[in-house]
Chains A and B, each alone.
Chain A
Amino acid sequence: MEFASNFSDQLNVGLILPEGIVVATLLAVLIGDLILGRRAARGLPYIAIAGLLLSIVSLYFYWDAENPTALLGSFSGDDLSIIFRGVIALSTAVTILMSIRYVEQTGGALSEFIAIMLTATLGGMFLAGANELVMIFVALETLSISSYLMTGYMKRDSRSNEAALKYLLIGAASSAVFLYGSSLLYGLSGGKTILPEIAQGLAQVEGGELASAIALVFMIAGIAFKISAVPFHQWTPDVYEGSPTPVVAFLSVGSKAAGFALAIRLLVVAFPLEQPQWRLIFTALAILSMILGNAVALAQTSMKRLLAYSSIGQAGFVMIGMVAATQAGYASMIFYLLVYLFMNLGAFTGLILFSLRTGTDQITEYAGLYQKDPLLTLGLSICLLSLGGIPPLAGFFGKIYLFWAGWQAGLYGLVILGLVASVVSIYYYIRVVKMMVVKEPQEMSDTVRNYPAVRWNLPGMRPLQVGLVFSLVVTSLAGILSNPLFTLANTSIENTEALKSASTFLEETTAQNKEVSLADPMAPAIVEK
């Protein structure tokens, strides 16, 4: 029986209970829809939200789990994954709040939509903890394929179809590239698929620098697609513009968080020796994303596209933490993603509310909104100003943490570019705020002039209001009270064994190489490596 208990130890299925809860919720939503029909559909979104919150609560009980590996080492439930899984589940919960009314008003079937979104969440959560190449790929594809489905959910809208097709084609290509990189890695490491073993395998290979560099580049390309870093961003504006807005919100927050989780785990754990290389690549990605994302956002006239480009720029800021490659860097990435979740979802909630009531998302149509809808104006303004990094809102503190971590790691150029980029970003965020707040009643746009009376008691409006107020409150206060949140992010990095062992592994190997080079002066190549 020893074998069995040992095996169940290794399997450690209990660790994926939070995912299990999501699966159960997913099934409940699907079956509930089938059995009870349209009648009960009203309650299903709330069941989904309750399930997600339950899953977040259950994550709490696995904080600092004694044995954080499950499924024979292919899934890691360490604190790093817990915090990312929490972010992903939370972003879905908020997204569902905003999609209830949207999907109903646009005539889709809500419970199917929620089922697909829960599947995407499941993929994202598994991706955040995936520790093995096959697991990573399966989770990634679960996330991607459900995202394709969601982008094309408005099947009668040709733009939604276009978005889905574009996303599918580019996404499939990037998955293929990622898969090719994984296969190279598999071969190079001598048939290993578990990330820490890959790192050891790679260290023993001689003369495989080029191949491992190619594998690295291919895998980063796959990740960069998910986090829509420039130059892998081309799909973003079109997909964001065409897809249903709640989906865009999910893509820009939940899916991105999953991408960053993958980036940290894959690169730090599997490529500790290639750290200079991937830091270099991420420097380039960060620079390009910050410049292009913020510069192009200046010229946008549609709110949705503005948020699309701004999210590219925001990803650029987050990548500063990745390039820093220090504990403070990763912790500030996590903190920024946490506050980004609220401010960006708050902005999307505002955008959805406005387009539900008026049917447009042109920035000029927001003129004079404060007269008709003060709550929406306040919520959207605060979230946008926070995205622009205005104190004392959460985004300001998030940026300060990131810039400070980057500065400590010696990335002066990058931080200064980040400062400049945030000044630029203030300009386009304030443009929208100006439209809403500054314009006089006589300058009001026709849309706002015919703005319907604000009624929160219509079906599906209450959740939107809750989502907006919740994001507004968190965005206003999360920065000032950021101490516990940042401590949480910091401890999660500190307690994550995988990151620690990767850095010790790096030190040991460098020390060994030094010894080798001291013993054998004819081996300069290894020293350089």
Chain B
Amino acid sequence: MLSALIWIPVIGGIIIGFLPNQLAEKSRSLALVIGSIILAFTLAIGLQFDPNQSGLFLSESFSWLDQLGLTYYLGVDGLALPLIFINSFLTLIAIYTSSTKLARPRFYYALLLFLSAGTAGAFLAQNVLLFFLFYEVELIPLYFLIAIWGGTNRGYAATKFLLYTAISGALVLASFLGIVWLTGASSFDYDVLRSQVLPLSSQIILLLILLAGFAIKIPFFPFHTWLPDAHVEASTPISVLLAGVLLKLGTYGLLRFGIGLFPDAWNLLAPYLAIWAAVSALFGALAAIAQKDMKRVVAYSSIAHMAYILLAAAAATPLSLTAAVAQMISHGLISALLFLLVGVVGKKTGTRDVDTLRGLLNPERGLPIIGSLLILGVMASAGIPGMAGFISEFIVFRGSFSVFPIATLLCLVGTGLTAVYFLLMINRVFFGRLPLAFSNLPAVPWSDHVPAIVLAILIVTLGLQPNWLVRWSETQTASLSNFDTETLAEVRPASRSLLQPGQSIKESQWWRSL
């Protein structure tokens, strides 16, 4: 069942890749069919999920390479399920929004499906080496997707992306090798590793390596420089996937492996992580204000919004961890919507320059529906109540404030700045008088509206019915944050020195006295 999420797109991709020349036109429809099948499968898996239970509710395990400790062990729990859903959903949207007049369609759709398979595999993997394998698998398809179908400077952006992500992968691998070797575990299986106890000092070193690896992927300031380039050069569907799903691999890794494998070190480093989150959020927001390219604005806002996840993860209260997952979902949907609409604006007007565009909201000759949807997306991103962004950001701050008040307040300022840069953008691009140059815009066909409308409906629904957003992961993340009951029941020898006798580690959060 779970393997189907990986193997259907792989096999579909291979079939599409080897379609004969006459059938090349059909590759899009075929990809759509495969995408729908994957989404249907995801929904079927979701139906079996009981939100009250933590732990894996579906799993598959085969031995693979025993000498390496690499097993083909897939599983899905409340943390992975929403992300898998987002992946399948956005893959379908990306296929749908891809231009019908693409060059080399077979190669394109095959790569898109490989990308989806790799991402699903990474979310499903319950063996850290398997996770690493899938984490690296998506590298080459994405590289080609940017390098072949991207903008003018695509070669540079694609290579930059490739090298940054390859370094990220190397760091993650080093950390995984380190934990297995230091604990002397017999395999790379996640649950085996989770039951191991490491001395605090080695936990800290390994966690720092892991953090650096994922920080490149997410990305956090100062490792973010590849992201704006990649977004600007990538075509719209690829930007949607990159912001909506691929960046989540990093934050998923933080939650699953950072907190899951190194709980003590995470606890110790948490205050610094919170400060880092605040810096990254403020940097992203301020940088977004200065941007002239609409896509760059959205890209920098993405950096700012991903930082909230780090803040929530650092606080590591049950509420804030649920919030982290909720923020991943809502950011996935919102940034996908924003990139879609910015892509339409860019396609219709031929530019994404904030200084040139004016008055596009003009109801007769402009792009009124696109404009309205974009305003909705921007409102969601800025955390206006009634939309998914509000819910997730609110619980992020609500969950983290008690632990890191200052960092949370700084992040709140970042949210305020979201309104600033997006309103600046909206104000310039959509209001005012439509200049003559843009007065004869081609009509936007309905097919361009559909995905954006679907996303918008989803964003509003989740905003009005927040339970659907957080219910998935609540139980699972609660068990993840349970340092005191589970993992520290046998108080670790190394971390004992930090604790007063009889005190749980939650109470010992030393920075609280500051």
Which of A56-64, A288-296, A384-392 makes up part of the contact surface? A384-392
**Segment of A10-18, A212-220, A403-411 engaged in the interface with chain B:** A403-411
Residues 449-493 of chain A: 1 if any B CB is under 8 Å from the residue's CB, otherwise 0? 000000000000000000000000000000000110011001000
A404-B177 in contact (CB<8A): yes
* Residue among B133, B139, B144, B170 making CB contact with A437, cutoff 8 Å: B144
With an 8 A cutoff between CB atoms, is B163 at the interface? yes
In-complex Cβ contact of A385 among B133, B140, B158 (8 A): B140
Residue contact A434 to B170, C-beta cutoff 8 Å: no
Docked complex Cα distance between A487 and B65 (Å): 10
Interfacial chain A residues near B64, Cβ < 8 Å:
483
At the interface, yes or no: B67 with Cβ under 8 Å from chain A? yes
* A423-B170 CB under 8 A given contacts A390-B140, A434-B147, A482-B65: yes
Contact (Cβ within 8 A) A483 B66: yes
Q: Are A391 and B133 in contact (CB under 8 A)?
A: yes
Alpha-carbon distance A399/B64, docked complex (angstroms) = 17
Contact B65 A397 (CB under 8 A): yes
Q: Tell me the minimal C-beta distance from A227 to chain B in angstroms.
A: 25
Shortest Cβ gap from B102 to chain A (Å): 13
- Which of these, A391, A401, A415, A419, contacts B67 with CB under 8 Å? A401
Docked-complex contact B136 and A430, CB < 8 angstroms: no
CB contacts (< 8 Å) of A407 on chain B: these are 177-178, 181
Within 8 A of A (CB), among B130-183: 133-134, 136-137, 139-140, 143-144, 147-148, 155, 158-159, 162-163, 166-167, 170, 173-174, 177-178, 181
Beta-carbon contact of B155 and A419 below 8 Å:
no
The answer to whether B177 and A403 touch across the interface, beta carbons within 8 angstroms, is yes
A390 and B139 contact, CB distance less than 8 A: yes
- Residue numbers in A under 8 Å from B68 (CB-CB): 400-401, 404
Q: Are A390 and B136 in contact (CB under 8 A)?
A: yes
Q: Which of chain B's residues has its CB closest to A408's CB?
A: B181
What is the bound-complex CA distance between A487 and B68, given in angstroms? 11
Nearest Cβ distance between residue A367 and chain B, in whole angstroms? 12
Chain B hits for A351, CB < 8 A: none
A336 within 8 A of B: no
B129 interfacial by beta-carbon distance below 8 Å? yes
CB distance from A428 to the nearest CB of B (A): 11
**How far is B407's CA from A24's CA once the two chains are assembled, in angstroms?**
79
Q: Given the known inter-chain contacts A416-B174, A419-B174, A423-B163, please indicate yes or no for A438 contacting B65, CB distance below 8 A.
A: no
Q: Which of B137, B143, B147, B181 meets A391, CB within 8 Å?
A: B137
A392 with B133: CB separation less than 8 A: yes
Q: Is the CB of A430 within 8 A of B162?
A: yes
B498 to nearest A CB, angstroms?
27
Q: For B67, B177, B181, which residue has the most chain A Cβ atoms within 10 angstroms?
A: B67
Q: How far is the CB of B276 from chain A (nearest CB, A)?
A: 24
Q: Check if A328 sits within 8 Å of B163, measured CB to CB.
A: no
Closest residue of chain A to B104, judged by CB?
Answer: A370
Q: Which residue of chain B lies nearest to A419 when distances are taken between CB atoms in the complex?
A: B170
Give Cα distance in the complex from A505 to B67, angstroms: 27
A281 to chain B, nearest CB (A): 25
B70: nearest chain-A partner, CB-CB:
A400
Given contacts A426-B162, A430-B143, contact A328 B181 (CB under 8 A): no
> How far, in angstroms, from A229 to B378 measured CA to CA in the complex?
58
B163→A427 contact, CB < 8 A: yes
Whether the pair A490, B144 counts as a contact (CB closer than 8 A) is no
A422 within 8 A of B: yes
State which residues 348-407 of A face B: CB under 8 Å: 385, 390-392, 396-397, 400-401, 403-404, 407
How far apart are B112's CB and chain A's nearest CB, in angstroms? 16
- Contact across chains for A426 and B173 when beta carbons are under 8 A apart: no
Q: Which residue of B lies closest to A487 (CB)?
A: B67
Q: Which residues of B contact A392 (CB under 8 A)?
A: 133, 137
A205 sits at the interface (CB 8 A): no
Q: Kindly state the separation between the CA atoms of A401 and B147 in the bound complex, as whole angstroms.
A: 31
Tell me which residues across on chain A come within 8 A of B173, comparing CB atoms: 403, 419
Chain B residues within 8 Å of A328, by CB: 67
Neighbour of B170 across the interface among A331, A401, A422, A482, CB < 8 A: A422
- Whether A438 contacts B159 by the Cβ 8 Å rule is no
CB closest residue in chain A, given B166: A423
**CB nearest to A381 among chain B residues:** B140
A396 adjacent to B148 (CB under 8 Å): no
Residues of B within 8 A of A487 (CB): 67
- Near A by CB (< 8 A), chain B positions 93-152 give 103, 129, 133-134, 136-137, 139-140, 143-144, 147-148
- Is B67's CB under 8 angstroms from A430's CB? no
The answer to whether A420 has its CB under 8 Å from any CB of chain B is yes
Complex-state Cα separation, A415 to B66, whole angstroms:
21
Task: With A390-B140, A437-B148, A438-B148 as known contacts, state yes or no: A423 contacts B167, CB within 8 Å.
Answer: yes
> Shortest CB–CB separation between residue A484 and chain B, in angstroms?
11
Residues of B near A438 (CB, < 8 A) are: 144, 147-148, 155, 158
Residue of A nearest to B177 (CB): A407
Please report the C-alpha to C-alpha distance between residue A308 and residue B432 in the assembled complex, in whole angstroms: 62
Expressed in whole angstroms, the Cα–Cα distance for A440 and B148 within the complex equals 8
A482 to B68, CA, bound (A): 11
- In the assembled complex, which residues on chain A have CB atoms less than 8 Å from the CB atom of B67? 328, 331, 401, 483, 486-487, 490
Hey, what's the 0/1 contact readout for B41-75 against A, CB within 8 Å counting as 1? 00000000000000000000000111110100000
Contacts of A423 in B (CB 8 A): 163, 166-167, 170
The residues of B that contact A401 with a CB separation of less than 8 Å are 67-68
CA distance A408 to B133 in the complex (A): 20
B-chain residues with CB within 8 Å of residue A422 when the two chains form the complex: 170
A366 CB to nearest chain B CB (Å): 15
Query: Which residues of A are found within 8 Å of B66, using beta-carbon distances?
Result: 483
Q: Is B136 a contact of A391 with CB atoms below 8 Å? A: yes
Q: Give the distance in Å from the alpha carbon of A404 to the alpha carbon of B136 in the complex.
A: 17
- How far is it, in angstroms, between the C-alpha of A359 and the C-alpha of B221 when the chains are bound? 49
Decide if A426 touches B177 in the complex (CB within 8 Å). no
Contact assessment for A415 and B177 in the assembled complex, using a CB-CB cutoff below 8 Å: yes
Specify which chain A residues have a CB less than 8 angstroms from the CB of B159 in the assembled complex. 427, 430, 434
Shortest Cβ gap from A391 to chain B (Å):
5
Contact residues in B for A434 (Cβ distance below 8 Å): 147, 155, 159
Q: For the complex, what is the distance from the CA of A419 to the CA of B177, rounded to whole Å?
A: 12
Looking across the interface, which residue of chain A has its beta carbon closest to that of B135?
A391
Give the nearest-CB partner of B140 in chain A. Answer: A390
When distances are taken between beta carbons in the complex, the residues of chain B under 8 Å from A391 are: 133-134, 136-137
Extra contacts, 8 of them, besides A423-B167, A437-B148 (Cβ < 8 A), are: A328-B67, A390-B139, A390-B140, A391-B137, A407-B178, A430-B159, A438-B158, A487-B67
Give 14 CB contacts A-B under 8 Å. A385-B140, A390-B140, A391-B133, A400-B68, A415-B174, A423-B163, A423-B167, A426-B166, A434-B159, A438-B148, A438-B158, A482-B65, A483-B66, A483-B67
Residues of B bordering A, CB below 8 Å: 64-68, 70, 103, 129, 133-134, 136-137, 139-140, 143-144, 147-148, 155, 158-159, 162-163, 166-167, 170, 173-174, 177-178, 181
